[in-house]
């Protein structure tokens, strides 16, 4: 059953499990701030789009919707990391249909898991069934979220097998075998794999998983350049990186630090890059360039919308450690830009509430498509932003700020 969002905007309480502190899932308690309500509306329509992507996904969640080609085949990788978002939406809205979808997607992922614990790359069904490092990592997030939500061991068992497969493959020098995706060296955005490995380590306390993740992360620290750029943080060996993978890299470091409870080790080194992102987000009023070269020069005149939402989250994560409303302001501008260009009233259900890969739609990133991960990260950023604004609103109103 779906309720009108305005009738249950605030005051929703939900289960919290031990071991874990997530972002953006605290109850929002005060309905006065118009922006919180505005974000709630976007969250509602985007969450519904995510559900439609699962309804059309033949078990998983469709990678994307194209106005020309319709819904794509399901994408195990992003189906995996959509699950934590769906669980948060269930808790936030008090709507069990989100939790039901999350569980169904999880079951589908269990069904297609390889014997060795990995998951294949690309869309399903796959031409190449071999395990993919990055995709397996992202699916672990879904397994972990379902385990935390239900404490059902089958999620943790699957996740543990996947994490162990990842850990076993990390070389002594801290890299995964090259050629996993488009690059010939292990990309730096695989910090977004180390993060879920550490998440599983936190749940199963398997030391070899933590050690392997840290070996990779330590290696990536050596790639940080003087201007804050992490070399090889794009899809390809050379050339510019989309803000999507820049944000993957930064977030992977930030979350890994959180999980090992050591901000200085991996998150603090991301601050120079985030300061650049902060300035560029402000100077562009949220219309952040979609890709940058290693000198922080914008390449191309388009916005990578998922990158906007992801980087807003990264700014908010830094702000959690070092409170400063200026960072929140920049994050709101990134999120507001995505909200501004989101299509809300078209008769095409695959477009309504979707978030395009690029703005304009024909921009370089995911040309003319609406990926499910853009919707996922937009939801995550809205949840986090609402929580942060509600906290500030309460503090300002009570004079404790």
Partner 1 sequence: MKIALTAGFDKSLPALLMADRLRKDGHEISAVVVVSPYSIKRVREMLLSRGVSGVKKALSKMFKGVENNSSGPSPLQHLKMQQDLNTSSLKVWCSENNVSYSVVKGINDSDAVNAVSASNADMLVYGGGGILRKAIIESVNGNVINPHAGPLPEVRGMNAIEWSVLLGERQTVTVHLIDTGIDTGRLIGETPVPVAAGDHIDSLRANAVATGVCALTDTLRSIESPADISTQDNPGAQAGRQCYPLGRALSELLAIKLDKLAP
Q: Considering only residues 37-96, where is the footprint of partner 1 by CB under 8 A?
A: 38
* Cβ-based nearer residue to partner 1, 104 or 392: 392
Q: Applying CB under 8 A, which part among 28-36, 60-68, 128-136, 224-232 lies near partner 1?
A: 28-36
- Residue 33: CB minimum distance to partner 1, A: 5
Task: Confirm or reject binding of residue 35 to partner 1 (CB under 8 A).
Answer: yes
Considering only 194, 220, 317, 328, the residue that binds partner 1 (CB under 8 A) is 328
Task: Confirm or reject binding of residue 34 to partner 1 (CB under 8 A).
Answer: yes
Q: Which of 283, 288, 284 is nearest to 302 (CA)?
A: 288
330 contacts: CB under 8 Å, gap ≥ 6: 277, 278, 281, 282, 312, 315
Q: Which residue has the tokens 């050690």?
A: 211
Task: Confirm or reject binding of residue 393 to partner 1 (CB under 8 A).
Answer: yes
Q: Where are the beta strands (DSSP E) in 311-366?
A: 358-359
Considering only 73, 284, 299, 321, the residue that binds partner 1 (CB under 8 A) is 284
- Token digits for 87? 């669980």
Confirm if 98 and 90 have CB atoms less than 8 A apart. Answer: yes
Q: Considering only residues 253-282, where is the footprint of partner 1 by CB under 8 A?
A: 275, 278-279, 282
* Cβ-based nearer residue to partner 1, 332 or 372: 332
- Residue 161: CB minimum distance to partner 1, A: 43
Task: Confirm or reject binding of residue 330 to partner 1 (CB under 8 A).
Answer: yes
Give the side-chain half-sphere CA count within 13 A for 375: 34
Cα–Cα–Cα angle for 135, 380, 345, nearest 5°? Answer: 105
Q: Which residue has the tokens 């986090």?
A: 384
Task: Confirm or reject binding of residue 287 to partner 1 (CB under 8 A).
Answer: yes
Considering only 29, 324, 348, 360, the residue that binds partner 1 (CB under 8 A) is 324
Task: Confirm or reject binding of residue 366 to partner 1 (CB under 8 A).
Answer: no
Q: Determine the Cα–Cα distance for residues 243 and 348; give it in Å rounded to an integer.
A: 28
* Cβ-based nearer residue to partner 1, 83 or 289: 289
**CA distances (Å), 168 to each of 143, 175, 176, 218, 401, in order?**
19, 11, 9, 17, 47
* Cβ-based nearer residue to partner 1, 144 or 331: 331
Q: What is residue 177's three-state secondary structure?
A: coil
* Cβ-based nearer residue to partner 1, 28 or 33: 33
Preceding omega of 360 cis (within 30 degrees of 0): yes
Task: Confirm or reject binding of residue 33 to partner 1 (CB under 8 A).
Answer: yes
Cα-only R_g, the chain = 19
Q: Which residues of 5-37 are buried (b: 16+ CB within 10 A; e: fewer)?
A: beeebbebebeeeeeeebbbbbebeeeebeebb
- Residue 279: CB minimum distance to partner 1, A: 7
Between the two ends of the chain, the Cα-to-Cα distance in Å is 39
Task: Confirm or reject binding of residue 385 to partner 1 (CB under 8 A).
Answer: yes
Considering only 192, 333, 369, 376, the residue that binds partner 1 (CB under 8 A) is 333
Q: Determine the Cα–Cα distance for residues 276 and 106; give it in Å rounded to an integer.
A: 37
* Cβ-based nearer residue to partner 1, 317 or 328: 328
* Cβ-based nearer residue to partner 1, 372 or 381: 381
Confirm if 66 and 369 have CB atoms less than 8 A apart. Answer: yes
* Cβ-based nearer residue to partner 1, 17 or 285: 285
Q: Can you give the binding site for partner 1, defined by CB under 8 A? A: 32-35, 38, 275, 278-279, 282-287, 324-326, 328-330, 332-333, 336, 385, 389, 392-393, 396-397, 399, 401
């Amino acid at each position: 059953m779906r309720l009108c969002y305005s009738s249950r905007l605030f005051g929703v309480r939900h289960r919290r499990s031990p071991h874990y502190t997530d972002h953006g899932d605290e109850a929002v308690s005060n309905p006065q701030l118009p922006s919180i309500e505005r974000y709630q509306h976007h969250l509602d329509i985007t969450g519904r789009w995510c559900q439609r992507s699962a309804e059309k996904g033949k078990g998983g969640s469709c990678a994307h919707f194209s106005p020309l080609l319709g819904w794509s085949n399901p994408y195990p990788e992003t189906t995996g990391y959509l699950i934590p978002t769906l669980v948060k939406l269930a808790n936030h809205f008090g709507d069990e249909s989100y939790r039901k979808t999350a569980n169904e997607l999880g079951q589908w992922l269990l069904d297609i898991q390889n014997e060795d614990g990995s998951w294949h790359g690309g869309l399903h069904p796959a031409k190449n069934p071999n395990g993919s490092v990055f995709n397996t990592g992202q699916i672990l997030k879904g397994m972990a979220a379902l385990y935390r939500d239900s404490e059902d061991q089958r999620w943790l068992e699957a996740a543990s097998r996947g994490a162990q497969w990842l850990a076993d493959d990390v070389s002594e020098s801290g890299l995964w075998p090259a050629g996993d995706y488009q690059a010939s060296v292990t990309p730096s955005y695989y910090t977004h794999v180390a993060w879920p490995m550490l998440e599983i380590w936190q749940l199963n306390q398997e030391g070899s998983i933590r050690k392997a993740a840290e070996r990779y992360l330590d290696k990536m620290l050596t790639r940080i350049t003087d201007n804050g750029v992490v070399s090889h943080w794009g899809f390809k060996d050379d050339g510019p990186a989309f803000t999507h993978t820049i944000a993957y890299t930064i977030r992977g470091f930030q979350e890994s630090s959180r999980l090992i409870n050591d901000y200085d080790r991996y998150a603090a080194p991301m601050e120079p890059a985030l300061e650049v992102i902060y300035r560029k987000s402000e100077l562009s009023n949220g219309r952040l360039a979609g890709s940058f070269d290693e000198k922080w020069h914008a390449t191309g005149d388009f916005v990578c919308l998922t990158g906007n939402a992801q980087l807003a989250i990264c700014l908010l994560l830094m702000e959690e450690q070092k409170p400063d409303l200026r960072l929140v302001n920049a994050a709101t501008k990134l999120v507001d830009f995505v909200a501004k260009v989101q299509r809300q009233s078209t008769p095409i259900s695959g477009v309504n509430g979707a978030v395009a890969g690029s703005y304009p739609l024909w921009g370089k990133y995911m040309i003319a498509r609406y990926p499910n991960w853009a919707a996922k990260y937009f939801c995550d950023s809205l949840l986090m932003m609402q929580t942060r604004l509600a906290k500030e609103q309460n503090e300002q109103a009570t004079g404790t700020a």
